[in-house]
DNA sequence: GCAAACTACCTTGCTATGTCAAGTAGCAGG
DNA sequence: CCTGCTACTTGACATAGCAAGGTAGTTTGC
């Protein structure tokens, strides 16, 4: 299981990823789930993505249009609005500045863990 | 406001940061708040850090000891347990693998945003 | 026709966790 | 004693990921 990701770590990042993928290419929900899995989020669930898209739309960061499909129900294609592009830019800044905080700390050498006293039982 | 960080982005990262800081140096809560502010999380609140420490302790990732202080109430010093060091290692892996997903996506060039039709008002 | 399988979307309940605000308490200085 | 700093605690609240289940349209095979 190379990809048992911590759900908590994903928080806030997902909407950023979605905006980014949509800026790259107009997509519908089911397709986004597949694209996310392809780029490495192998165990993401659609119950996570659809609500996230709904939120983004409610917040005015994406718009959608329905396109009928010949192999199933209509697809709801999303793409960023102007506000979405702005949010993408700002979210990117936030992510990068968080990484700028976390990475240096993680890469600082851990001083000799005091060998836990081998608790004679 | 150079550091209005997105609260959601911090989720899951905070406990990782705390473990890391504690692996570096045994500290008490108030001090951790200050250390976090120093490394760039300028607007983190103590109401965020103390519960996180309590959780870490409840999960057995840190232990604490009380040390009386001459300038205020007793200080509760925390440091990682063995499980804490393990969690730190694993959390680091999770963080890095998330960054490995997010960074490439963020750095992919955004194709020409279709100029939004300049809505004559 | 009808059932099964696949595509596509939505919703509900659960849970974890950061945030705000308020409270408790010890100590120091005026 | 009252104000202010240090230090920890607690409770109400909001957010957002996740699992599970539900609705529908299309295609295929019988």
State pLDDT tens for residues A22-33.
999 999 999 999
Q: Where do the domains of chain B lie, and which CATH numbers do they carry? A: 7-94 (1.10.10.10)
Measured between alpha carbons, how far is A80 from A64 in angstroms, rounded to an integer? 9
Task: Please give the average per-residue pLDDT across B11-38, as a whole number.
Answer: 94
Picking from A9, A105, A111, the nearest residue to B98 by CB comes out as: A9
> Is A102 within 8 Å of B81 when comparing Cβ atoms?
no
Residues 6+ apart with CB under 8 A from B63: B57, B78, B79, B81
Q: Is the CB of B16 under 7 A from strand C?
A: no
CA-nearest of A1, A112, A93 to B94 is A1
- The first and second tokens of residue B10, run together, are 């911090």
State pLDDT tens for residues B62-105.
999 999 888 788 899 999 999 999 999 999 999 999 999 999 99
Question: In chain A, which residue's Cα lies nearest the Cα of B95?
Answer: A9
Picking from A2, A20, A99, the nearest residue to B105 by CB comes out as: A20
């Amino acid at each position: 299981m190379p990809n048992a990701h911590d759900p908590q770590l994903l928080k806030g990042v997902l909407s950023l990823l979605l905006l980014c993928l949509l800026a790259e290419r107009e997509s519908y929900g089911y397709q986004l789930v597949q694209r996310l899995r392809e780029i490495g989020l192998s165990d993401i669930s659609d119950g996570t993505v659809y609500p996230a898209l709904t939120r983004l739309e409610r917040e005015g960061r994406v718009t959608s249009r329905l396109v009928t499909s010949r192999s199933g129900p209509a697809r709801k294609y999303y793409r960023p609005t102007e506000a979405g592009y702005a949010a993408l830019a700002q979210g990117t800044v936030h992510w990068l500045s968080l990484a700028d905080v976390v990475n240096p700390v993680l890469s600082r050498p851990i001083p000799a863990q005091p060998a836990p006293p081998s608790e004679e039982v």
